[in-house]
Structure 1
């Protein structure tokens, strides 16, 4: 089935070149010229992924992502940014983006990241909400529904955050190194970027802590991360 992707970028040349590249790769493309247009189109359509530029007039890409997540939209978001600094990347992750790509970028890398995001799209659950739930103390994860709770508080996780948390919990007590985490969450085509991974781990920790959870995700310096029971 053809996959639909929304591209939101106020630079016409970038927008049109991306649209051509994605169409050649077999995607159906819908283009938005700014943040307001992106929100309107995202709410009206059913998309496999969104490619959103950070710097746009009226409503920027970070705000677009934050508004969609606040409304319950969990469509994967790949954020494009000319700002490669750590604070800017963290801002995108905090808003709910699943991945980011600094400008200038190579189109093959964008396509690879997009494929990795879309591969993680959930299948429709075929049973009740507690089917095959994973539990760690008061943490409950339902992979079929792609939802997670600490006690009674549901965690508002992006797709990448959910995949990372699920992987760590399934391997409770085992230290997973950076390369293994990238291979299993982002796919074999993704490179290893420790700062990017640290950003997602930090965001998971804040969300778990905000729901009242003690420290669950532990850093093993120079190696990776592990989840341990409190």
Structure 2
């Protein structure tokens, strides 16, 4: 049985979500503020977290940032009452896996949850890239999500690893921004291609000898990117 944590400060919303998820067969725990949610995520093993953005004590964004900073890769869906693009982009760049904007239908949310749980459980079945791969300045271990420059470990977010892994799996071929959106984030709805571009910029800073004049992750203008690897 999948275990889901709901971090939500509105009692009616918290109870409604809990009832619906339990009815759908999930084991559910709840927290009513940011610090409480963070503590539960750190101390327990959940299959997925529903995390409200506007929380007392600590925002959902800050909870997400701290959780990912600790290397915890539990899938996170942000619940936001605000629909601004900046919130969505910021949330995804902090390492959230998805977001839904209130008001949302429970059926839509359940579909998103199922899709993410399916992705994270089949993730283990994919052909893993074994051993270390050199890409530019970095030596990468995709199985353990570790990156090194020489003997020094370099911090990459889970999503940065996923973007790089997808580019490597399709090395020397053109990968469109929409391919990346669909395969790394799982669906295209409302996420801007700017998110992809921001990730590529960050990866170049870590991989390229001269990020301003890239030789490894090349831009195909208007269409996408190509990872050059021999």
Count of residues in Structure 1 that have an aligned counterpart in Structure 2? 221
Give the structure with higher Rg (CA): 2
Counterpart contact for 1:116–1:186, Cα < 8 Å: no
Matched position secondary structure for 2:99: strand
Q: Please, which moves more after superposition, 215-224 or 51-60?
A: 215-224
Residue 36 of structure 1: how far off its partner (Å): 1.1
- CA distance 1:167–1:217, change in 2 (3 Å): same
- Counterpart in the other structure of 2:23: 24
Q: TM-score, normalised by structure 2?
A: 0.80
Q: Please, which moves more after superposition, 20-29 or 73-82?
A: 20-29
- Counterpart in the other structure of 2:61: 62
Match of 1:206 among 182, 199, 202: 202
Matched position secondary structure for 1:83: coil
Counterpart contact for 1:82–1:103, Cα < 8 Å: yes
- Counterpart in the other structure of 1:157: 157
- Counterpart in the other structure of 2:14: 15
CA distance in 1, matches of 2:219, 2:100: 25
- Counterpart in the other structure of 1:38: 37
Matched position secondary structure for 2:30: strand
- Counterpart in the other structure of 1:47: 46
Matched position secondary structure for 1:69: helix
The C-alpha deviation readout for 1:129-168, integer Å capped at 9, x for no partner, is x93433323333323223334554423312x432222111
Counterpart contact for 2:138–2:206, Cα < 8 Å: no
Counterpart contact for 2:52–2:78, Cα < 8 Å: yes
Structure 1: state its 5+ residue gaps: 125-129
- Counterpart in the other structure of 1:140: 139
- Report matched runs for 1:124-203 at 5 Å: 131-151=130-150, 152-158=152-158, 160-187=159-186, 190-193=187-190, 195=192, 197-203=193-199
- Counterpart in the other structure of 2:88: 89
CA distance in 2, matches of 1:201, 1:87: 15
- Counterpart in the other structure of 1:228: 228
The C-alpha deviation readout for 1:64-85, integer Å capped at 9, x for no partner, is 1111122222222111112222
Matched position secondary structure for 1:96: coil
- Counterpart in the other structure of 1:127: none
The C-alpha deviation readout for 1:106-151, integer Å capped at 9, x for no partner, is 3333233323333235549xxxxx9343332333332322333455
Q: Please, which moves more after superposition, 86-95 or 38-47?
A: 86-95
Matched position secondary structure for 2:166: helix
Residue 8 of structure 1: how far off its partner (Å): 0.6
CA distance in 2, matches of 1:150, 1:201: 23
Structure 2: state its 5+ residue gaps: none
Counterpart contact for 1:34–1:57, Cα < 8 Å: yes
